[in-house]
Structure 1
Amino acid sequence: MSARTESLLGFIYEERAAQIAPRLDRLIDRYREHVSSPDGYRAGTPPFTERDAVMIALGDSFVGAGGSPLAQLLRFLDDEAEGVISGVHVLPFSPRSSNDPYAVTDHREVDPELGDWSDIEAIADHFMLMADLVLTHCSPQGAWFQGFLRDEPPYSEYFVTASPADDHVDLDFSNPDVLIEMLDVFLGYIARGVRVVRLDSIAYLWTETGTPCLHHPKAHAIVKLIRAIVDEIAPWVVIIVHPSAPHQENLDYLGAGDDEAHMVYDVSLSPLVTDAFLSADATSLSAWVRELHTPGSTSLFNVLGPCDAIAPAALPDSQRARVFLAAQSVALAIAGVPGVYCQSLVGSEDRERLDLDELSAVLNESGSLGNLVFDGYKALLRARAASDAFSPAAAQRVLSAPSSVFALVRTSPTGGRVLCLVNVTGDEAEVSFTDGELGLGDEKVFRELVTDTFLYPSRDDGNRVSLVIDPYEVLWLAYSSPE
């Protein structure tokens, strides 16, 4: 056990730490020989680049003949998304007691209605796999709580709540047996090939009488403990947290930048983008992105909601696709790692189950909503992957622009720049910038990355670079010098 792990254990359990340390040591040693780095891993390299995008799906989002839902998920990724999607976040896939995937009855198994561990391992062999560790609670129908009701050790002291509500019962992490149990589950996931682990509802992890039981220092310490174990035996694994809290309190789980979570779910982005497009005003979105900062090499996981919130069904399919892709482009352009729901990727309804054969027909039907959204999304993802200015490590700077336009410049560590413009309205918009605002040097031409075409901007009377942006148009303009 590292000195860092030992120190955190002492902070969490105080005088009991000496008795817990040997158990944790044995657990860590047991998994050392069962975890192995993925192909191509190099120590010290960032876990994500501009080439990474993560698709988010339930274990049963895809159905079809000839295999389990998880096998159909892999089939979709292999057949339709390889080369544009690098990772997949499979939402909780354990057995559950209701329609709520977080009402887990057995953390160590795969729901047989979804598939089995061989399906999970097959996905992990082909794509970067993100999985949820449902850390704070479980279902009252599971073996742990049933043992609690029978007053059977060790389960008799596993829970904070004794009467179940909403199909969840809260685990008591002041009992070190619970921590050891969940770390065993966590390391088991890593041994199965999971490379990104989301810690869900982490803000409520530690309950203590006389405190708000929210963002407790010992909740932060347990995230740091998990990070310390990862750094010791599986440094390729990424920890992402979803505290379900206001933005700054979310960012607090990134710690000093190298000692707590690697990433945090950006819960503010989706409502801000929705507001920008529904109000035809990007002012609030621009102000918020302007203040975004994460410590060290940490980053945000940028996720937007489904198509119908921004592009209602009353619009023609071509207009719906254009509006929706313009909104989604924001999550792809700003600093961080983009996550996209599988339904959003193909222009479908939120949480709709997707029959692969029917979906394939829709995606290949020229002019259909699914075809327009999927092809447009792939074009955006390919353009993003082609420029290191979209690296999570690349700087970003929001520009002053009319309220109808969201504008920022991304600058790569090697100096390459991309001007990202999105018109959030149904009207034509015009923007103008000084050379200094854009950081222009000798470059006089822009190469539009999505269409791979050159754009020659005009100059207004004040010698400012002037551009006209069509309704709901997305422009990703790389700086280029004339031949």
Structure 2
Amino acid sequence: MSSQLNAYQECHHRVIQHLQAIYPDHNHALLADNLIEAMCHGGVCAVPEARTNNWSQQDLILITYGNSVEKVGEPPLRTLNTFLQQHMSSVISGVHILPFFPYSSDDGFSVIDYTNVNPELGDWHDIEAIAKQFDLMSDLVINHCSSQSKWFTQFKQGLAPGKEYFVTVPADTDTSLVVRPRTSPLLQAVDTPQGQQHVWCTFSFDQVDLNFANPDLLFEMVRIIALYLDKGVKIFRLDAVAFLWKQLGSPCINLPQTHEVIRLIRTLVEFRTAAAILITETNIPNQENLSYFGNANEAHCIYNFSLPPLLLHTMMTGSCQHLKQWLMSMPPAQSGTAYFNFIASHDGIGLRPVEGLLETAEIDELAEVMQGFGGAVSWRTMTDGSVRPYEINIALTDAMQGTVNGVDDLLVERFICTHAIMLALEGIPGIYIHSFLGTRNDYAKMAQTGSNRAINRHNWQLETLTQQLEDQGVASQIFSNMKRLCELRQQQPAFNPNATQFTLHLGDQIFAFWRQSMRRDQSIFCLNNVTDRPQRVALTQINLVANERWRDIISGTVYEDTREEIELEPYQSVWLSNWDGAGVVMKRPVGQGEPFANQPLNDPDERRRHG
């Protein structure tokens, strides 16, 4: 009993500190009591162990809609669960089911009711069944809700509590500094018993921003988080959280109060269950995105938003110069935090995260090439009224069909190389279901919905999908190769999300880096030919230990002579490890090999390392 009391007191103390920063003039003690009661039923909580990594190299998250795989006469969530258990259980640890709640637009991100499952998908029993088999990741659509929600209906009727849950400003308010991800007007006029009011809509008129300056709304959101935990959710994706706090005269993005709300949620969640994980979804420039780690006290993971466009640019141009420079600049994630790596998503490939990393002309060329491959481009309005490309909308399979020189016959090789890079990098990988399935652009759905993003949100019929994965076409090749890479990754301690990483310098045609396990017993040199031509790499260019033998995990080839060269075929990846297939360090017989292990791995001023 005393330990529970001490835990409650510690939680209460931390929550009050957060609340003092968010709501300086509020009754902090009373609000802290209410929040802890809502999160930790009956106030029962436990002090979390600081800086714990709740992940390993065996973790991989599949990203999917609840109805990405369907079967006539069966709830889609049940069909999805069957498909995952039959085809994916050996390669994924968790599944991110994109918003599965009743909604009015944006394929789920305009939530009508946070507390129920969309009946067109199934019910809470279906969600809980998936959570029993996989680590379940759920969206917390925290910045806004649907204009058809109960709360907004109350707002329009002047009724509590909804009438205080939304951001309103006078129509003539100067909002020129506000950062926007859309071209639609920011303010929407709404008739209420108090007269016409103008509500804040960062994304669309159907997605009305919530007012977190009202602590009662924060309390309601904490109750929703507690409900999701009760239903088996382990990982929370905080959707569009960068826009959460509004302060006139500012850009209304990445404000200090936003960061403090995330820290508060982390504190509450960790005292409820130490295994829970918060991931921030902040599609913004790289340095701003990194700030959501805080001091290892904010997001457990951040979406590595710069990776998709940089990888795409690398594959399109055959040069890893920008990707390599970016990788060297990235700080190692502190213990208790990790990068969430991905290449494709339900939205598209965001371009804001490469602002400052790619030149404007390079971004424009990338968008133009993707349009040539059948993709679309979404735009955003700048503060001066001009528009810039915000996002590329295309199925990754189609994005990989060629280079800046046009379409070629290396789609599968390029696609697999891209994922071999992502799977080997520091961080937890997340793979969109349509990348596993080799899905192509869905022009019919894009035309039907009028949304560019629908091009990469195909709905498969289970029977059709099963047939496609069993034939010998592109989709089948992608599926089998992807699964094999994921299974190989799971077996390598050097691919732990927090294991050491060095950037190697082997020219712009070979993207290379070194991973070392946290126990420092396994090394893997990851060599990736990012061009459509063969490339040669001398093993003397990398820091191989002279008395160990080296084996390519992917092909199984063993390299006996560390003085030889490796010829990499177009888009070939090599994971060169000192472990054999059974996880044992391979030693070289005495007298064999030339000692060159004391060569510097990189220029000390250019390398990046952590352990």
TM over 0.5: yes
Residue of 381, 398, 403 corresponding to 2:486: 381
- Tell me how far apart the structure 2 counterparts of residues 104 and 197 of structure 1 sit (CA, whole Å): 16
- Tell me how far apart the structure 2 counterparts of residues 63 and 81 of structure 1 sit (CA, whole Å): 16
**Aligned-residue offset at 1:456:** 3.6
1:300/1:70 CA distance change after superposition, 3 Å? same
Match of 1:56 in 2: 63
Please tell me the root mean square deviation across aligned C-alpha atoms, in Å: 2.1
**Aligned-residue offset at 1:308:** 1.2
Q: Does 1:338 align with 2:345?
A: no
Q: Does 1:466 align with 2:565?
A: yes
Match of 2:135 in 1: 128
Match of 1:265 in 2: 303
Q: Deviations over 1:266-312 (max 9, x none)?
A: 11000001000110111111111122224422111111022211225
Q: Which amino acid aligns with 1:55?
A: L
**Aligned-residue offset at 1:66:** 4.7
Residue of 462, 485, 506 corresponding to 1:401: 506
- Tell me how far apart the structure 2 counterparts of residues 322 and 355 of structure 1 sit (CA, whole Å): 27
1:441/1:191 CA distance change after superposition, 3 Å? farther
1:59/1:32 CA distance change after superposition, 3 Å? farther
Match of 2:459 in 1: 353
1:354/1:246 CA distance change after superposition, 3 Å? same
Q: Does 1:372 align with 2:383?
A: no
- Tell me how far apart the structure 2 counterparts of residues 355 and 99 of structure 1 sit (CA, whole Å): 22
- Tell me how far apart the structure 2 counterparts of residues 481 and 64 of structure 1 sit (CA, whole Å): 53
Unaligned runs of 5+ in 1: 460-464
Q: Does 1:218 align with 2:257?
A: yes
- Tell me how far apart the structure 2 counterparts of residues 142 and 114 of structure 1 sit (CA, whole Å): 19
Q: Deviations over 1:168-217 (max 9, x none)?
A: 10000000011001111111111111110011111111112233211111
Match of 1:27 in 2: 38
Match of 1:426 in 2: 532
Q: Deviations over 1:77-126 (max 9, x none)?
A: 10001111111111111111124321111111111111111111111000
**Aligned-residue offset at 1:19:** 4.1
Task: Please say which of residues 1-10 and 268-277 is displaced more in the overlay.
Answer: 1-10
**Aligned pairs for 1:41-440 within 5 A:** 46-161=53-168, 162-163=198-199, 165-257=204-296, 259-297=297-335, 298-305=337-344, 306-311=396-401, 315-316=408-409, 319-349=410-440, 350-365=456-471, 367-415=472-520, 416-434=522-540, 437-440=542-545
Relative to the length of structure 1, the TM-score reads 0.92
Match of 2:447 in 1: none
**Aligned-residue offset at 1:404:** 1.1
- Tell me how far apart the structure 1 counterparts of residues 164 and 30 of structure 2 sit (CA, whole Å): 17
Relative to the length of structure 2, the TM-score reads 0.73
Match of 2:379 in 1: none
Task: Please say which of residues 371-380 and 288-297 is displaced more in the overlay.
Answer: 288-297
SS at match of 1:472: coil
Unaligned runs of 5+ in 2: 1-7, 169-197, 345-395, 441-455, 579-585, 590-611
1:32/1:92 CA distance change after superposition, 3 Å? farther
SS at match of 1:271: helix
Among all aligned residue pairs of Structure 1 and Structure 2, give the percentage whose two residues are the same amino acid: 34
Equivalent pair of 1:31/1:191 in contact (CA under 8 Å) = no
- Tell me how far apart the structure 1 counterparts of residues 33 and 281 of structure 2 sit (CA, whole Å): 30
Equivalent pair of 1:458/1:467 in contact (CA under 8 Å) = no
Equivalent pair of 2:39/2:225 in contact (CA under 8 Å) = no
1:250/1:266 CA distance change after superposition, 3 Å? same
SS at match of 2:23: helix
Q: Which amino acid aligns with 1:322?
A: E
- Tell me how far apart the structure 2 counterparts of residues 407 and 109 of structure 1 sit (CA, whole Å): 46
Q: Does 1:448 align with 2:552?
A: yes
SS at match of 2:24: helix
SS at match of 1:114: coil
Match of 1:478 in 2: 577
**Aligned-residue offset at 1:67:** 2.0
1:362/1:42 CA distance change after superposition, 3 Å? farther
SS at match of 1:308: helix
- Tell me how far apart the structure 1 counterparts of residues 61 and 132 of structure 2 sit (CA, whole Å): 15
Equivalent pair of 1:54/1:85 in contact (CA under 8 Å) = yes
Match of 1:462 in 2: none
- Tell me how far apart the structure 2 counterparts of residues 371 and 133 of structure 1 sit (CA, whole Å): 34
- Tell me how far apart the structure 1 counterparts of residues 74 and 21 of structure 2 sit (CA, whole Å): 48
- Tell me how far apart the structure 1 counterparts of residues 562 and 18 of structure 2 sit (CA, whole Å): 59
Match of 2:193 in 1: none
- Tell me how far apart the structure 1 counterparts of residues 523 and 497 of structure 2 sit (CA, whole Å): 14
- Tell me how far apart the structure 2 counterparts of residues 369 and 148 of structure 1 sit (CA, whole Å): 51
- Tell me how far apart the structure 1 counterparts of residues 479 and 492 of structure 2 sit (CA, whole Å): 21
Q: Which amino acid aligns with 1:28?
A: M
Equivalent pair of 2:138/2:235 in contact (CA under 8 Å) = yes
SS at match of 2:233: coil
- Tell me how far apart the structure 1 counterparts of residues 559 and 461 of structure 2 sit (CA, whole Å): 41
Match of 1:6 in 2: 16
Equivalent pair of 1:57/1:90 in contact (CA under 8 Å) = yes
Q: Which amino acid aligns with 1:12?
A: I
**Aligned-residue offset at 1:251:** 1.0
**Aligned-residue offset at 1:455:** 3.1
- Tell me how far apart the structure 1 counterparts of residues 503 and 561 of structure 2 sit (CA, whole Å): 20
SS at match of 2:575: strand
**Computing the radius of gyration over CA atoms, which structure comes out larger, 1 or 2?**
2
Equivalent pair of 1:131/1:196 in contact (CA under 8 Å) = yes
Equivalent pair of 2:511/2:529 in contact (CA under 8 Å) = yes
Q: Which amino acid aligns with 2:511?
A: F
Q: Deviations over 1:215-243 (max 9, x none)?
A: 11110001000111122111100010011
